Structures are given as structure tokens and as C-alpha cells.
Amino acid sequence: MRLSKTRSHIPNSSCYSGYWKLFWELLLTQHLFIATENWKSMAKLRRNWSHVLIISLALMEYSSAKFQPIIGVMMQNINGMHCNDQYAMTNYQSFIAQGGAGAVPIFVDQPDSYYEQLIPRLNGVLLPGGGLDNLVTSPFANVSKLVFDMAMKMNDGGVHFPVWGTCQGFEEMTTLPLKPQQDLLSNCSGTEGVLLPLNYTAAAKTSRLFKDMLPSLKDTLGKAKITPNFHNLCLSTKTFRETQQLNDFYTVLSTNVDVKGLEFVSTMEAKEYPFYATQWHPEKINYNFVNGLNNDPTFSTAMIAQYFGNFLVQEANKNSNSFHSDDEAARFLFNNYPTQFTGGNGAYLDIYCLKKTDAPKFDRNM
């Protein structure tokens, strides 16, 4: 079994790290003073234990409060996206940030040495949606394969390294375990720009992805039209059942049906790796607000979206990979780049439009 046990870290947004540091410094100072005064009188020994406990907890929290998982989002180069080179949608960065992690672009069209240095510095990877014509030979596909193999190797070595795929990322992840790698997708009808409830499989109840979701939220997700779908290709359940390599690697957690009655896989997770994939867009639940495609903004829908963002960050929080310095990590964050508005066509709003030469430099090995 390659899934590793949880390590306890507290995700922390870098913009708040200074406040956390000040908070714990003040708390430690206060309780160290109280404990010191109390130790002067052995009659107050019992009271000291509470302060010692608080000091111990504060020290643990203070050390871990400086830890922030950083997740890489794959860039892609597609014509017609107002970009001459490569882009990523901003809502993936927002999705990761809402869970308390930082996000960095993973540039395509880079030498292998770039990925060999970057991926071990990350705590997880997200393969985003898009509109690629080829899931096997495109630059996005080539880098996804390289990253997928590196992630498997890390997990095999005991490092809990999650990979998440959304829509196109889901579709890409259906090709990656296959030998030879191939595209097994079918055409779907009426699944472009629609909201659907999930049809859970029996495996969903005990799955890693769904088992800790509040029953009320899980029930809403299975009954209400919440999940945003923006795809015209899908992996049919028939194809999944007939493809042994997919059966061996993934467990289907939910399905949906297109307007012509074709049943397709909508959520899955790997059996032995922390890999998760949704044909639908959890990040769009909270970050898509035009053309009537956004959900009814209820507390439940917001919490559902938050749950998946939290889940991914918690998975990333189970390894201690890191950049070599805070300055190095800061150079790689999406926050360094401006966003560009695409005109509000519903599927794509703000994007990061970057060039491969925008990829930052790594610190020299120390």
C-alpha cells in the first residue's frame, strides 16, 4: 500500500505568517513569565502544569505555523486563449488558496531539469481543465506524464504526494496509467455548461475523498444541480469496466449520464496513490459568476466547494517537501504575475497569460 500516514502541519497563508509569528511570540512570553513566577513556589506546582502544557503546544504550533503547502498548477498552450504562449485560469489558484495553500505555475516547454528540480519542491500538483486536442502528445500531456511518473515514484518511496485532475486534467489522468498510453474518451452530449448532481457509487461511502464530508453536504451534492460541467468528451463507464488497467488503478466514486443516455465517470480516485480526478469543476462552484452558469450561492454550495479545496490542501500537507528558501518559494508563486480578463464567456474569466521565459530561476543547491 503506497498511501502514507498523515503528518500534522498547519497550513498558513504566507501573508499571515508574520502575524502568526507575533501571536505565538506574545503567547510564549506571557506563559513563560507566569510559569517562571509560579515555579518560585512549590505550592503552586499543579498550576504550573497548565502553563507548561500551553508552552509545549505553542512551541509545536509556532514551528508548524511557518509551514505552508505549495501546489503546482500545470500551464498549457492553446490557441485562441488571448495568449501567445501558455496560460492558466485564475480560479485554480483561488481554489488552492481557499484551502490555505500557495500555488505556483508549472510551465510547459521546459527542459526536464526544470521539472526534476521543481516537483520535489512542491507538495502536490493540480492538472486543470482546458481544451486540448491531444491528451497523449501535446506539451501538456508530455509534462503531465513526466509529473505523474515522478509522483508515483515519490509515493512509492514513502512521500505522500497528491495529484488532482479537473475536467481536462481528469481526462489526462485516464490516459496516464495505460501502457501504451492512449485516449479512450467518448463524445458526450449536453454536458457543456450544465450543472449536475452526482450519482454516487457504492465505493464513495468509504472513499478517501468523500468519507469525511458532512452527510448533509454529501446529500446535497447527490441531489441538487451543483457540479459545473464544461466538457464534450468523457470516459464512459462501459469503457472503464472493459479496460483492466483502469480498473486496477482507479475506483469510480460517481457517475453521470449525458442527454443521450451515455453513462460516464464523473469522480474517481486511485486505489494505491493519493490521486483524485473530477470530470466536473469544483473550483467553479465559488468562482464562476457570469452567463447564469454559477450555482445558487447558498451556504451549502460554498461549503461543498470549500470542502474539496480543503481536502486537496490537507493531502498536500502530508508531505514536507519545500523550496530551498522563503525567497525562492516567493519567486515561483502565481502572485508574481498579472492576470488578464478574457471577456467573460462563462467558462474562462481571468487567466494568467505567461511565456515560457517567465519561469523563475531556482536557488543554487546548498
Which sequence positions are flagged as catalytic? Answer: 167, 281
- Phi/psi for 341 (5° steps) reads -85, 135
Strands in 40-171 per DSSP E: 70-74, 86-89, 102-106, 124-127, 163-166
Amino acid at 107: F
Q: What is the dihedral of CA 138, 123, 354, 110, to 10 degrees?
A: -50
Q: Which residues contact 345 (CB under 8 A, 6 or more apart)?
A: 290, 291
Residues 150 and 117: beta-carbon distance below 8 Å: no
| DSSP conformation class of 44 | G
* Cell numbers describing residue 54: 500551553
Residues 234 and 189: beta-carbon distance below 8 Å: no
Strands in 60-207 per DSSP E: 70-74, 86-89, 102-106, 124-127, 163-166, 186-187, 192-196, 199-200
